[in-house]
Every structure is written in C-alpha cells, then in structure tokens.
Amino acid sequence: MMNAKILIVEDEPAIQELLTFNVMQAGFLALRAEDADSAWLQIRSHLPDLILLDWMLPNTSGVILAKQFRADARTKDIPIIILTARGDERDKILGLESGADDYITKPFSPRELMARIRAVLRRHVPQMSEETVAAGGLELSPTSHRVTAKGAGVELGPTEFRLLHFFMTHAERVYSRTQLLDQVWGTQVFVEERTVDVHIRRLRAALEPVKMDNLIQTVRGSGYRFSTS
C-alpha cells in the first residue's frame, strides 16, 4: 500500500487539512482539490489510486462527480470513498448507486477512515499490496524488493520492478502504453509512450537469462500482456 496516491476532494479547508494530515501520517501521498474543476486538474497530471470525495461540493455534488469519474475511461476503475455529514440510509444508497465503493459519515475517527481506505485499496489495487506474488515460475516480494525465478535471483531496476509487479497482479490482460503509464508511472503527461517500450525491453533483458522473457508479450496494435501461456 506504500506510496498509494489519494485524491482528497473537499471544499472545507479544516476538513481537507485533517484528511491530508491523516492520509500522509499513514504513509500515503495526498493530492488535494476543493471542487470538481480542481479535482479534474489533479487527475490530468497524477492519476490517483483512490479518491476521497465529499458529498457536498460547491456547484456540484460528490454523487454527480462520482458518476462522472465512473463515465471517464481514465478514472472509471479508481475506487471512491464518499464522505458525508448525513447518516441516513437513503443517502448511503444514493452514494453507492453513483458508483462509490464505500462511504463514511462525518465526523469520523482517523482509525476508521484509514481502515476503510486500506480495505478498499486491498480490493482494488493489488499491486499496492505488500503480499508476495507468484506466476509463471517467478516470485516477487514487494517488502524485500526481490524477484526470483525458480529460486534464482533476478536483478531489476525500480521501474522494471514496478512494471513486473503490475503485470504479475494483472496477468493475462492486455494494457496499452497509456494505461501502463497511468498504472505504473502514475501519470501520462510528462512521460512519452516510447518510455514504456524502453522499460519493457529492459524487463525482458533481465528475464532472458532465466528464459522467462516470453512472459512479457507484445500484442500488436494494443500493447503488452503478462501471460504464462
């Protein structure tokens, strides 16, 4: 879960401050926005791993914004937790129907907030988890930062390590260069798509001595896939 980016969309400065403090205290990176426009601005430069979204925002509501996030190709899979001062059942249902994954009522305890953030991230962002993953004879440990191939060590640079971690937790699915930039680099603005090809080449070169470079497959016209078959 380390380094997960959390976008906090909250217009009340005191609450935004409190949320930011707690999120950073827990070791996450905090991105801040006070309305819909600034939320989209943040998303354009850094794709968050989770969005904390206030129910009542200037000129719009969290529910409307949640629906917009669900309708946009870049943000449709980002988990959302709605923050609300209301406690009634009808609002909870509305919030969840808008596409939010969870919801928390103000005032909340920091412990409850963090427990919910961690639970949602565990469900949605497996590459943020610190659990060891194994696939196709490879084993990757996020805590020790080690990769082994049938017991033998594989030397990877930090970007190749993150790339492999993402692939191994999302095996058998094709990802475009843009999607990989979003998911592994966390942005698609300042990095060229060719950068992805460079790191794919390095990753394959590192896997070649153990004869596992064929796990990283090129899908013509679409992108790349990690596949054991």
Shortest distance in whole angstroms from residue 10 CB to Ca ion: 6
* Interacting residues of 198 by C-beta distance below 8 A, sequence separation 6+: none
What six digits make up the tokens of 164? 């492999």
Q: Please, where are the H alpha helices in the chain?
A: 13-25, 36-45, 62-71, 89-97, 110-124, 158-169, 177-180, 193-207
Under the binding rule (CB under 5 A), the answer on residue 213 touching Ca ion is: no
* Pairwise CA distance, residues 100 & 225, whole Å: 29
* Pairwise CA distance, residues 61 & 127, whole Å: 31
Site stretch for Ca ion (CB under 5 A), options 6-14, 76-84, 114-122, 191-199: 6-14
Shortest distance in whole angstroms from residue 177 CB to Ca ion: 37
Q: Which is nearer to Ca ion, 54 or 101 (CB)?
A: 54
Q: Which residue is nearest to Ca ion (CB)?
A: 56
Element (H, E) at 147: strand 146-149
| 31-90: contacts with Ca ion (CB under 5 A) | 54, 56
Number of residues this chain uses to bind Ca ion (CB under 5 A): 3
Q: Which is nearer to Ca ion, 11 or 91 (CB)?
A: 11
Shortest distance in whole angstroms from residue 58 CB to Ca ion: 8
Shortest distance in whole angstroms from residue 70 CB to Ca ion: 20
* Interacting residues of 102 by C-beta distance below 8 A, sequence separation 6+: 79, 81, 82, 116, 119, 120
Q: Do the bridges between strand 56-57 and strand 102-105 make them parallel or antiparallel, or are there none, so unpaired?
A: unpaired
Q: Which is nearer to Ca ion, 65 or 200 (CB)?
A: 65
Shortest distance in whole angstroms from residue 62 CB to Ca ion: 8
Contacting residues toward Ca ion, per CB under 5 A: 11, 54, 56
